[in-house]
A and B are shown apart, each in its own frame.
Chain A
Amino acid sequence: MSDKNTFMLDGVAIAFNAGDTVMDAALRAGAYIPHLCHNPEFTPHGSCRVCIVDVNGRRRSACTQPAAAGLNVENSSDDIVAERRSLLQMLFVEGNHVCPGCEKSGACQLQAVAYHAGMLSPRFTHFFPQRAVDASHPEIAIDFNRCILCELCVRASNEVDNKQVFTISGRGIGSHLVINSPSGKLGDSNFAATDKAAHVCPVGAILPKHRGYEQPIGERLYDKQPVSIVGDVAAHENDAQGDDHDR
C-alpha cells in the first residue's frame, strides 16, 4: 500500500489523519486493538502496555505510537497475543481480582480483554496485597483491590472535573492510588457521583453504591458480545447498565 495517509494493520489498510496515533486511527476504522488505560477522551498514557503492537519489527504501545504512512502494524500475531496475555496475567496477580464476587463481573474491561486474549489462568504467583476498601462516600465506593493503576480517574478528575481528587503515590510495586482529602478518604473529598472520574473506571474499583446486581449476570455488557465488538465499558455508561439504574 503506497497511499500517503494509510498504514497497514494486520494486513488491512487503515486511514489516518495528521496527529493520529495508531490507536486513534484503528478506533475510527472500527479495528480493535485491546487496551485498558486508553480512553479516547483523555491524553494517552501508554502505561498498561496491553495495546502493545509490532510496528516495523519493534514493540510499541498503539495508544502512543504516532501513525505514519507505510507503517506495518501487527496486532494479532501469536507472539503479540501471548505477550498481551502475560501482561494481563500480571495485572490479575498484582491486585485482588475475584471475579465471581465482583459487582463489575461481565461488564469489566479487564475481564473482557483477558477473555479476548485467551487468558485461562492467572499463572503467576499472586501478590495478595492488603488494601482497604473505602466506603466513606455516600454514593461511591472504592475497592482498591481491583485498581489496575490505569490513571483514568486521575486524568478525568484533573482534565475534566478540575478537582484533582486522585493521584498516584509510592513507586514500583508499591505504587497506589490515593485520594486528595485531609483524611485520605473519598467521603472527605469534594468528589461527586456526577464527576467524570466516577464513570471511567475500566474495572470494579470505583463503583456506585446502593445498587447490587441490578443487571443479572449473563445479561451484562460483555456477556452478550466480546469487547472487540462493543468496545470500552466507559463508552456504555449511559446505555445498558446506566439506563437500568436510572429507571
Chain B
Amino acid sequence: MSPDEVVGAIIAPAGATRRVQRVDLLQYLCQIQHQLNCIPAAAISQLAGALQISAAEVRGVIEFYAFLHEQPRGQYDILFSDNITDQMLGSRNLLAQLCKRLGAEPGIPRDDLRVTIDTTSCTGICEQGPALLVNGRVVSRLDNSRIGQIADLVESEVEVTEWPQAFFLVEDNIQRRDQLLSKQTADLSPDGSALHALLDYGETTLLETIEDSGLQGLGGAGFGTGIKWRRCKQAEADCRYVVCNADEGEPGTFKDRVLMNSYADSVFEGMTLCAGIIGAQHGLLYLRGEYRFLLEPLQQVLQQRRDNGLLGRNILGKQGFDFDIDIHLGAGAYICGEESSLIESLEGKRGIPRKRPPFPTTIGYLNKPTVINNVETFMAAAKIAVLGADWFRSSGTADSPGSKLLSISGDCKRPGVYEYPFGVTIRQILADCGAENTQAVQVAGAAGITLPITEIDRRIAFEDVATAGSFMVFNNDRDLLEMVQNFTHFFAHESCGLCTPCRVGGALLKDLVDKLVHGHATRHDLGEIETIGALMQDTSHCGLGSTAPNPVLDLLRHFPQLVEKRLAHSSYEPAFDLDAALQEARDISGRDDAGAHIEPFK
C-alpha cells in the first residue's frame, strides 16, 4: 500500500460505521506512526482535509507527543528507557555501545535511515531493565550480549516481529500478595461477580458500599472513589463516561502494567460496575504508548467479555444495561496522566491540563460528566462490590483502608510488585525486598518524596507518605545528585509548556542542577534553586509544575552535606564556560595560542 492508501485505510477503514472525527485524531496519528514509522506531510494534509482542521493544528498535536514524528527516523526507532533505575543498571553505557556498533549518533537518524537510537522517559519496565522500545515494542533485560544481537539484527534488516521472542518477555514479578492479589480474592470469578452483585443489590446499595469501604483513588491523589462516583451520577447530563487512567507514567511505577497483564478482567469489571452505578454507556481506557504490547491482549479480554454478555447491550440480560469500552493509546506524554490532560488527549488534542474547576465529574470527556479512576482503583472497586466494605476495611489504617500495590526497583535483591496493607513501614518494605546499605528511597516517583534512611519508620498511607506506588531504592554507593539531575531533566522534558513557572522555571532549574552536578554551582545558585522551586510549587497551573522541584528541594533539605561537597568555592560562577564559548571564534580564526584562551573566573 502507498502511504496515501495507508492513511486512507486508517481514517476510513473498509466497512467501518464510525465516521471520521476530530476526537480520533491522536488515534489516527498513532496508527500512521506505527505503520509508516513517521507521519509524512502528505498524511498531515490528508488528515487535516478529512477532519476539516488546519494542518498547523495537526502538527501541533504531533509535536506535543514524543512518539510522533514528522521526519522519518528509519526502519528501526530504538528508544532506551532513561529512568534513573535504567541508568543504575547501565543503560547509558549500553546505549553508547549500540551507537558505536551501528555507527549512529544518539538522537540522529543514521544516514541510510536504517536506525535512530535515542532515549525516552521511564518505560515502566524498571524491575527488569534496562529496557528499550524498538518500533514501540518493549525489549527487557538488556545486557552486552543482547545489545550485540540487536546490532546484528538491525544490520541484517530482520523485521522486529522476527526478533527472538525472549527479547520481548515482560514478567509480572509479583513478590508479595495481600488483600487484593491474594489467591482467594484474585481468583474470585472476575466474569461478572461484581455485576451480579450490582443487579442483586441495586446501584444505590452498591454505591453506598463503595463509599462505606473508604476506597480512595490509588493513582496517588487519594480522592474518595464513592464521592467521585456520586458527584458524577448526580451531575445533570444526557450521557456520562467512565475513564480508566492507564497512563502509568510516573518514573518507577509498573504495577498497572501487571494488573492489565494478568487481571484485566477485574479492571474492566470495575469500570462496568461504575458505569452501571452512574449510568454511563461508554468507557475508555487510556493506555500509555509504552504499553502498546498490552493493546491486543486487552482487546481480546474485551471481546471475551462481550461474548460472555458482560459488555455491550443488555449486560447480564438486564434490559437497558448497555456499556462498552474502547482503548485509546497515548504517545509519550507524562502530563497525560493528569486527569484533565488525559481528557484533552482522549479528545485527540495536545495534552494541556484544563482549568479546574469545573472538575471532570461535572465537565469531563466531551464536556460530559466523567469518572476517571486509576487501574488499581477500578480493580479494588470490583472486589469490594463482591466482598463488601468490611472486608476492605479489615486491612490498612483508619484513614487509609485497604492495601496498596508498590512497584519496587533500584538497589534491592528482589525488585517487583509488592502488595501491602496501608500503614506498612519503609523499614519492612526494605527488609522484604532485600535492600542493603540503603541511602535513600524515592517514594511516589519523580514527583514524590526523597526519604533519607533516617525516616525509615515512616508509613505508606495517605496520612503519612502517600504514593501511587513507585518505590525506588538507592544504596550508599549511589550519587543522589544523579537521581536529582535525572528527575529534573525528566520534568523539563515533560512540561506541557502552558504556564510560565513550569515551562521556564523547569528549564532554568534543569540548567542550575546541571551546574551543581558539574561542580560549578555556588551558594547564590542554591538560593536561586530554592526561589525557583518555591515559585513553581506555589504558582504552577497543575501538579506537574508544582511537584517538579521536589527532588532538588528534598536534596537540599535532607542531604546538605552532598550538596556542600559539590559547590564551587567562588561566590559567583558564570552559567556557561567562558573558555568553551570562545571555541567558535578559535575555529574561525584558526588560533589556538594562549591569547585565544581565557582563564576560568575565580
Contacts and interface: CB of A to CB of B under 8 A. Distances in A.
Given A49-B539, A124-B508, A170-B63, A64 B355 contact: yes
Interface residues of B, number: 39
Contact of B539 (A83, A149, A173, A182): A83
Contacts, number: 114
B54 A173 contact: no
B57 A167 contact: yes
Interface stretch (A87-95, A205-213, A216-224): A87-95
A48 interface: yes
B501 interface: yes
Given A171-B64, A180-B54, A90 B506 contact: no
Contacts of A149: 497, 503
B341 to A, nearest CB: 11
Interface stretch (B198-206, B391-399, B488-496, B588-596): B488-496
Nearest to A127: B507
Contacts of A228: none
A166 to B, nearest CB: 8
Contact of B538 (A59, A66, A125): A59
B495 A169 contact: no
Nearest to B59: A169
A172 B493 contact: yes
Contacts of B503: 94, 149, 172-173, 175
B15 interface: no
Contacts of B497: 149, 168, 170-175
Nearest to B355: A64
Contacts of B532: 86
Contacts of B541: 46-47, 49, 61
Contacts of A166: 56
Contacts of B504: 90-91, 93-94, 124, 173
B508 to A, nearest CB: 6
Interface residues of A, number: 39
A49 B500 CA distance: 7
A170 B498 CA distance: 11
A168 B56 CA distance: 8
Among A49, A61, A66, A179: residue with most chain B CB under 10 A = A49
A46 B355 contact: yes
A167 B357 contact: no
B393 to A, nearest CB: 32
B60 A169 contact: yes
B453 interface: no
Interface in B507-535: 507-508, 511, 528, 531-532, 535
B364 interface: no
Nearest to A63: B355
Interface in A113-144: 124-125, 127
B500 to A, nearest CB: 5
A164 interface: yes
B57 A172 contact: no
Interface string A72-101: 000000000001001100110110000000
B382 to A, nearest CB: 36
B350 interface: yes
B505 interface: yes
A147 to B, nearest CB: 12
Given A168-B497, A179-B56, 20 more contacts: A47-B498, A47-B499, A48-B500, A49-B540, A49-B541, A52-B538, A52-B539, A90-B500, A94-B503, A124-B504, A164-B57, A166-B56, A167-B54, A167-B60, A170-B497, A171-B64, A173-B504, A175-B503, A181-B56, A182-B55
21 contacts: A44-B355, A47-B498, A47-B541, A49-B540, A49-B541, A83-B539, A87-B500, A90-B505, A94-B504, A125-B575, A149-B497, A167-B60, A172-B492, A172-B494, A172-B507, A173-B507, A174-B497, A175-B496, A180-B55, A180-B57, A184-B56
